Amino acid sequence: MDNQIIRLNTFFFSVLLGILFLLTPLLFFANNSKYYIFRFDNYGVYEEFSKVSVDKTTLDKEFENLILHLSPLSKDLNGSFYSTEDILHLYDVKNMLTALYFLFTISLISIIAIYRSKRNTINLNLAKKYSLFYIIALTILGLISIFNFDNFFTSIHELSFSNDYWLLDPKSSNLIKFFPQNLFLEVLVIIIITNLLLHISFIMLSEKINGKRKAK
């Protein structure tokens, strides 16, 4: 087999794997209302809403409805609970998440197809090197993002959205009360750690597969 074809197939396989590993924890948190509700007490979310006379039961219900609205299952928002800016921003967020679900699905199908039909053209040693490079790059970028989170938070919103609807007013926005910035930071840390663990697991699995191939 031509080495160039092997390198090319391995490169595309590794890129798709990187996308899949990145989106897996990200989309998990985009659909997991229970985790956020579990952390609301720690970040004073219930206390913040109590100032505008919203009780815990109502708050949990509205948040679960919000997550369902953003998921592929979809559900109409309670328009009276959110400001106009909230609803406009959520429209953008939903469109972005829809694109990410599509990208995740395409990446997963492509990885399975490539591995099943072209596994002999995948150089696992090279794929391991790509994963190792990804681990190093993600560790560096992750640390920069975590220790400079305010700038990271602003930059990621400016890159993701073509308007300024994400600049919500804390006085009128219930959406911003749901997501204290430190909660976003916590989720970012978990996503980075999960991503690193997925790549480490892939490297270990690759070594095991290579060991079996050599034993034959």
The pLDDT score that the predictor gives to residue 119 is 66
The pLDDT score that the predictor gives to residue 2 is: 72
d(CA 130, CA 178): 37
pTM: 0.90
pLDDT of residue 1: 55
Low-confidence ranges of the chain (pLDDT < 70): 1, 118-120, 212-216
Look at the alpha carbons of 4, 7, 13, 14 in this order and tell me if their dihedral is positive or negative: negative
Q: Where are the domains of the chain?
A: 3-215
Q: Where are the alpha helices (DSSP H) in the chain?
A: 3-31, 33-40, 45-50, 56-70, 84-118, 124-147, 149-160, 174-178, 181-215
